[in-house]
Amino acid sequence: MPIHDPIFEAAEGIYQVRIPLPFALNIVNCYLLRDRGGWTIVDTGLNRPESQTVWAAAFDALRIKPASIRRIVLTHMHPDHYGLAGWLQRQSPHCPPVVMSPIEWNAAQRTWINRDGLDDRLWQHLTRCGLPSDLIAAAVEVGRNMTMMTAPHPERVETLEPGSSIEIGSRVFRTIHAPGHSDGQLLLYCADDGLMISGDHVLMKITPNIGVWQDTPPQPLRQFLDSLRFLRQLDVSLALPGHKTVITNWAGRIDELLAHHDQRLAAVAGAVGDGATVYQVSQQIFDYTRLTNHEIRFAIAETLAHLLHLQAEGRLTCDDGDTWRFEPVR
Ligand SMILES: [Zn+2]
């Protein structure tokens, strides 16, 4: 039932709050869950005035006093999910905890808070990918700008392990580790209601970005595909994702994502000539004339994830010099 655009009741006692983003992907879905004695927030948006305005409207429409926020749960540490957590926490005099997995909290500290050597590692990583230096400089700049939209950082963080139970209102959710898009992403699954808060792991209309970045553990694509196959078996009648529309055909959408990556792996394998750099392969997969500097980073990361997957399967070799060069195994 619509309450107040851009807020709607997505499931009983769960309101989706659509926070605008300054990208082609122009909305992040956040959630307000009616809780015992207050409210739980899931995901937050980037810290920009536009986001704060929508949260204020949501609180107003649902008559929520900031002091009644019990906790702020983050599915993962990407800036569109993490960015406003510290600001929201400060709206309440009680400093409600920001809750996320230990892996994501480590990544958030490394990427948004300490940033020790981060730009150098990104520069080195993109050099290995064969990206020209003007595009590397632009990518580093995008990363710095993104960091500014994640402050202030949470003052109080509680970590939540995969496989934990978390009670929100009358529902009990189990946390499920769903790596691939982000190493430590947690989904929240309420088996009794067949309800999944699916973060950016399963999305309609777009495929979650699976990328290898400067600090990514090996084989995120393998982890993502394995995780999808596990999640497909769960009974899910409604999934509430981090972007785009809610998901009512859980297994069907997962099948489409699995098929997409099969096709993408075939396309990447077909694009690898002798001694191809990640940049060269990515130019055959993505139309660079249409990509912003923000999106070029994703194109490189996604191409590399597929290349490393093919290498692990023995279909490609990689010359590990200053610049990675891939070749088909004949
Ligand atoms: Zn997202």
Q: Is the pLDDT of residue 2 over 50?
A: no
How remote is the CA of residue 275 from the centroid of ligand 1, in Å? Answer: 34
Residue identified by tokens 């997957």 is 309
How remote is the CA of residue 45 from the centroid of ligand 1, in Å? Answer: 9
Quick one: pLDDT band at residue 170, thresholds 50, 70, 90?
A: very high
Residue-wise pLDDT for 266-310, tens only, equals 999 999 999 999 999 999 999 999 999 889 999 999 999 999 999
- Per-position b or e across 183-207, b if 16+ CB within 10 A of its CB: bbbbbbbbeebebbbbbbbbbeeee
How remote is the CA of residue 289 from the centroid of ligand 1, in Å? Answer: 24
How remote is the CA of residue 43 from the centroid of ligand 1, in Å? Answer: 9
How remote is the CA of residue 313 from the centroid of ligand 1, in Å? Answer: 29
Burial (0-12, 13-18, 19+ Cβ within 10 Å), 326: buried
How remote is the CA of residue 322 from the centroid of ligand 1, in Å? Answer: 32
Backbone angles phi, psi at 29, to 5 degrees: -85, 120
Contact status, residue 37 vs residue 68, Cβ threshold 8 Å: yes
Taking residues 252-256, report their average pLDDT.
98
Residue-wise pLDDT for 18-56, tens only, equals 999 999 999 999 999 999 999 999 999 999 999 999 999
At the fourth CATH level, the homologous superfamily of domain 2-249 is: Ribonuclease Z/Hydroxyacylglutathione hydrolase-like (3.60.15.10)
Taking residues 172-196, report their average pLDDT.
98
Contact status, residue 47 vs residue 151, Cβ threshold 8 Å: yes
How remote is the CA of residue 18 from the centroid of ligand 1, in Å? Answer: 12
How remote is the CA of residue 180 from the centroid of ligand 1, in Å? Answer: 13
> Per mean pLDDT, which of 137-146, 234-243, 316-325 is the most reliable?
234-243
The DSSP annotation for 20-37 comes to E-SSSS-EEEEEEEEETT
Backbone angles phi, psi at 30, to 5 degrees: -115, 170
Cα(232)–Cα(254) distance, rounded to whole angstroms? 7
How remote is the CA of residue 229 from the centroid of ligand 1, in Å? Answer: 21
How remote is the CA of residue 316 from the centroid of ligand 1, in Å? Answer: 31
Of 124, 118, 107, whose CA–CA distance to 142 is shortest? 118
Residue-wise pLDDT for 46-92, tens only, equals 999 999 999 999 999 999 999 999 999 999 999 999 999 999 999 99
Of 34, 93, 82, whose CA–CA distance to 58 is shortest? 34
How remote is the CA of residue 81 from the centroid of ligand 1, in Å? Answer: 6
How remote is the CA of residue 199 from the centroid of ligand 1, in Å? Answer: 7
Q: Is the pLDDT of residue 5 over 90?
A: no
How is the chain split into domains, by residue range?
Answer: 2-249
Specify the DSSP element, H or E, that contains 261. Answer: helix 250-271
